[in-house]
Amino acid sequence: MESALTARDRVGVQDFVLLENYNSEAAFIENLRRRFKENLVYTYIGSVLVSVNPYKELEIYSKQQMERYRGVSFYEISPHIYAVSDNTYRAMRTERKDQCILISGESGAGKTEASKKILLYYAVTCPTNDCMAALGDRLLQSNPVLEAFGNAKTLRNDNSSRFGKYMDVQFDFRGVPVGGHILNYLLEKSRVVHQNHGERNFHIFYQLLDGGDEDLLKTLGLERNPQNYHYLVKGNCPRVSSISDKNNWKVVMKALCVIGFSEEEKLLNIIAGVLHLGNTQFGEGEEGETYITTETQITNLAKLLGVDGSALTEALTHKKLTAKGEEMISPLNFEQAMSARDALAKAVYGRTFSWLVEKINQSLAVKVQTSIILKASSVIGLLDIYGFEVLQHNSFEQFCINYCNEKLQQLFIELTLRSEQEEYETEGIAWETVQYFDNKIICDLIEEKHKGIISILDEECLRPGETCDVSFLEKLEDTLGGHPHFVTHKLANGKTRRVMSREEFRLLHYAGEVNYNVNGFLDKNNDLLNRNLKEVMCQSDNQILSHCFRREEVMDQKRPEMAATQFKNSLMKLMEILMSKEPSYVRCIKPNDAKQPGRFDEVLVRHQVKYLGLMENLRVRRAGFAYRRRFEAFLQRWYKPLCPETWPNWHGRLVDGVSTLVNHLGYKPEEFKLGRSKIFIRFPKTLFNTEDALEEKKPEIVNSLLCMCLCFFIRFIKGFIYRHEEYCPVNEYFLDHVRYSFLKNLRKNLPKSVLDKNWPTPPPSLVEASEYLRMLHMRNMVMKYCRRVQPEWKKQMVQKVVASEIFKDQKDSYPQSVGRLFLDTRLGISVSSLSDGMFVLHMPSEDNKQKADAVLQCNHVIELVTKLAMMASKIDYVNISPGSIRFAVARGKEGIIDFVRGSEMKVAKGKRGHLLVVSQWLF
């Protein structure tokens, strides 16, 4: 715990609730800045972790660091992402309730890196086996795949997630990760066809061109230069200094292999197909009809997408209309054809991305189907979703992203308030009402049925007649005019009009004001693909595309939901998922826009502190008490040296010990409350005074501990000197230590099998006990071994015991024979169907030169053969032959016995060297 007064001056407080001036935003940011300058990038607000991106590698993520936080109380050591990870995992195990970790922050703040570190922590520290280790690998390797297809370089972040991701990690009753599942939200499909200056398309396009080998590019009809592709030149940023597309290509290909992906060829065909689609150009005829001018592109495109080239050409230049039950073909003009091409590119890429997530989910699915594991399983969810965005030009995507953040903020405040209230109720302390801004008014403004922005947008998209983005803006003004959180150029005052375009509307979000330009809202919300393009794609022989474009979709006359409504519905389901779990929070902050280590931009940080709602969260936490700890931690781990009655040990009830301690320290009644299991301290100053008293007391504590150590050392030496005497107060400590050490060593070095006769040498005082323990352990191992013995092995062991009794030390071949399996196939019996007493024992051998069977005669052959068959469990191996029996003689030769009936019993040499056995007739 960063407790010294000098440390507080230098690095601030590690928990914002301990800020004296907790209502001051300046004090909040100053505490962040102090810690950032000392490379302390993590700070708590109660149980919320605030993380500042250092933009450099810090030596705080090693396996040793993971072990340091494993199983340790949340507040016991300095704030860390591993502390949140471990606390969430232990809460899931002990409370048997699903958990979730919500990671938020703007692009470049480190959300994706935070989720990676959490997954890595679970992969390294959770119990596992070979099968589950493979699952851990797949969980980790899903990240580079999703980043390649879902991330892009933006003005604010070189590796910006352009989709939202929620991942469930499922654990069995032992706490072993057994499965996972990913939900993806609102992929920014518009990036496929357009990027702002200085930005890039999705990483995978550049990785393919830079990392793919020459043969692959030739097969795909591609060239290495990204500038040759229309969909990659819009941002004029083919290379990024912080990214190695070639190396990342190798990482992605390896990750696909680990996940168990076997369809790289079909997937890469689609990616290349999107690039060729972007290079498909159109011309315009004299009568306004449109035709394709790049036939080579269509040829490549048809091959890669597995579709008919002429059908694709027709679908890109014409559309099908249905009027009064009749189908009509209408040519597209130049603008419409370009839009159809781009719509197809966005649809192909967007649906392929969803298919890819589905494939990853199949690889992460729970493979163990035992009912015990499924009944007792628990889940930890990870939400890595886009942060609040305020760009120079904000469009439909930013509107959806910021709506998402409004919903998360609403959930955040609600759950934080609820958890605070529940803690006070559990501890029996009166709850004080907290005043806070309820952003439900903004959520309703966006999502309310019939009157919300999304409903108005849908209506305008569906309204017959001429509709456009401007008419949508006018409809907003008519419906929402006068709302305190909505304004347009027309509705604004003179000052606001000067900074607002006539094509914009402004929303006053909980995090601040954002102007949205309506241009493109209707097209992006419609997100419709011409029916004839769908028909072409659903006939593709590329299995990925045929899966993404179903024939039922073409036949279904029902209009699909608009993009914003789809997003709203998926967001509602996400809220239900999160509400059903116990939440933990990671709030990520970027310290500067230049991604430079050590640089702290206070204006930028203040903006993020505001829109992340951190001050509001702090006020909720500080509404009652700044500090709360369990009695055991407060008394035993920290402050008991400050009171003579509690030092060195308190043997009574913990609550009485804490009461004794705080009374000794002079706490006033208004400064603290004692709950059922925790102490609550209202003011940080009270805690700081206690901390400073502990700092002053430390030299005295050290001296006291040294004296105690010296006393123990002297006692230990005396015990060693008198170790051979009877147990007495002089040597009891030493002898107890020796016994404890022996038992601890024995536990680590117990024999692993009944054949291992090693046993640690006991001290004289434990000889008899050691012998009893050795005997018990041996019996336990024998019992465990016997329980594992299968019936077949038991039969083998019985045979080996009998063989030992008969042949051991009596026959030279015994050692070689007894070590092998006694095979059932080594014995077979043949008899004739007549009344003779002949029978043959077949004795198979691996060596043909030594192979020979025994031909025997007995007057009681039926009785003898029956007993042999039963003793050897060979009833199914008795062969009764009506005519002749073949048998093996020495050196691989074969003999034959012929059986016939006659007047008298005799054995003679027959024809062709056969043995002839004559059996008497029976009347």
Give the C-alpha separation, 522 to 383, whole Å.
Answer: 29
Greater model confidence, 765 or 237: 237
Average pLDDT value over all residues in the chain? 86
318 contact partners, CB below 8 Å, separation of at least 6: 329, 330, 331, 332, 532
User: What is the average pLDDT across 702-714?
Assistant: 71
Range ranked top by mean pLDDT from 49-58, 818-827, 912-921: 49-58
252, two tokens: 């992605």
Confidence of residue 77 (pLDDT cuts 50, 70, 90): confident
246 is in an annotated binding site: no
Domain residue spans of the chain: 424-568, 628-712, 731-788, 828-920
Q: What is the pLDDT of residues 168-181, one digit of tens each?
A: 999 988 888 888 99
Task: Report the pLDDT value the prediction gives residue 280, as an integer from 0 to 100.
Answer: 94
- Evaluated on CA atoms 678, 684, 689, 691, the torsion sign reads positive
Checking DSSP bridges between strand 504-509 and strand 512-517, what pairing results, if any? antiparallel
Cite the DSSP H helix spans in 463-558. 469-480, 494-497, 521-526, 531-537, 543-548, 551-555
Q: Per-residue b/e over 328-359, b at no fewer than 16 CB within 10 Å? A: eeeebebebbbebbbbbbbbbbbbbbebbbeb
Residue 173 φ/ψ region, left for φ over 0, alpha for ψ in the -120 to 50 degree band, beta for the rest:
alpha
Type of residue at 467: T
Q: What is the pLDDT of residues 321-351, one digit of tens each?
A: 766 667 788 888 898 899 999 999 999 999 9
849 is in an annotated binding site: no
Task: Report the pLDDT value the prediction gives residue 118, as an integer from 0 to 100.
Answer: 94
Tell me: pLDDT of 249 over 80. Answer: yes
User: What is the average pLDDT across 820-840?
Assistant: 77
Confidence of residue 3 (pLDDT cuts 50, 70, 90): very low
675 is in an annotated binding site: no
426 is in an annotated binding site: no
* CB 156, CB 593: distance < 8 Å: yes
CATH placement of domain 424-568 = 1.20.58.530
Confidence of residue 443 (pLDDT cuts 50, 70, 90): very high
Q: Which of 22-26, 336-340, 576-580, 843-847 has the lowest mean pLDDT?
A: 843-847
Give the C-alpha separation, 159 to 204, whole Å.
Answer: 12
* Closest-CA residue to 23 (of 514, 620, 675): 620
Task: Report the pLDDT value the prediction gives residue 758, as an integer from 0 to 100.
Answer: 86
148 is in an annotated binding site: no
Task: Report the pLDDT value the prediction gives residue 905, as an integer from 0 to 100.
Answer: 81
% pLDDT > 90, the chain: 40
Instruction: Specify the 3-state DSSP secondary structure of 840.
Output: strand
Q: What is the pLDDT of residues 624-681, one digit of tens each?
A: 788 888 898 888 777 888 888 888 788 889 999 999 999 999 999 888 999 999 999 8
Give the C-alpha separation, 294 to 887, whole Å.
Answer: 82
Give the C-alpha separation, 550 to 881, whole Å.
Answer: 66
105 is in an annotated binding site: yes
Q: What is the pLDDT of residues 97-132, one digit of tens each?
A: 899 999 988 888 998 899 999 999 998 998 877 666
% pLDDT > 70, the chain: 93
Cis before residue 648, ω within 30 degrees of 0?
Answer: yes
Give the C-alpha separation, 395 to 194, whole Å.
Answer: 13
Task: Report the pLDDT value the prediction gives residue 112, as an integer from 0 to 100.
Answer: 86
- Evaluated on CA atoms 182, 188, 192, 197, the torsion sign reads negative
Range ranked top by mean pLDDT from 220-234, 559-573, 714-728, 873-887: 220-234
By CB neighbour count within 10 A (0-12 exposed, 13-18 middle, 19+ buried), where does 702 fall?
exposed
Greater model confidence, 370 or 246: 246
User: What is the average pLDDT across 314-318?
Assistant: 92
Confidence of residue 42 (pLDDT cuts 50, 70, 90): very high
Q: What is the pLDDT of residues 350-362, one digit of tens each?
A: 999 999 999 999 9
CATH placement of domain 628-712 = 3.30.70.1590
Q: Per-residue b/e over 736-758, b at no fewer than 16 CB within 10 Å? A: eebeeebeeebeeeeeeeeeeee
Please give the angle made by the CA atoms of 426, 429 and 435, to the nearest 5 degrees: 105
Tell me: pLDDT of 846 over 70. Answer: no
Task: Report the pLDDT value the prediction gives residue 372, as an integer from 0 to 100.
Answer: 45
Greater model confidence, 8 or 149: 149
User: What is the average pLDDT across 869-878?
Assistant: 74
Q: Could you say which DSSP state residue 612 is in?
A: T
Task: Report the pLDDT value the prediction gives residue 373, as an integer from 0 to 100.
Answer: 46
Please list the active-site residues. Answer: 107-108, 112, 157, 160-161, 387, 389
Task: Report the pLDDT value the prediction gives residue 292, as an integer from 0 to 100.
Answer: 92
Q: What is the pLDDT of residues 732-777, one digit of tens each?
A: 878 788 888 888 888 888 888 887 888 888 888 788 888 888 889 8
Tell me: pLDDT of 834 over 70. Answer: yes
Q: At what angle do helices 602-611 and 25-37 cross, to 10 degrees?
A: 120
pTM for this predicted structure:
0.71
Q: What is the pLDDT of residues 381-422, one digit of tens each?
A: 999 887 788 888 899 989 999 999 899 888 887 887 778 778
User: What is the average pLDDT across 868-894?
Assistant: 78
* CB 109, CB 589: distance < 8 Å: yes
* CB 661, CB 635: distance < 8 Å: yes
Q: What is the pLDDT of residues 557-568, one digit of tens each?
A: 677 788 999 999
Q: At what angle do helices 111-125 and 130-150 cross, to 10 degrees?
A: 170
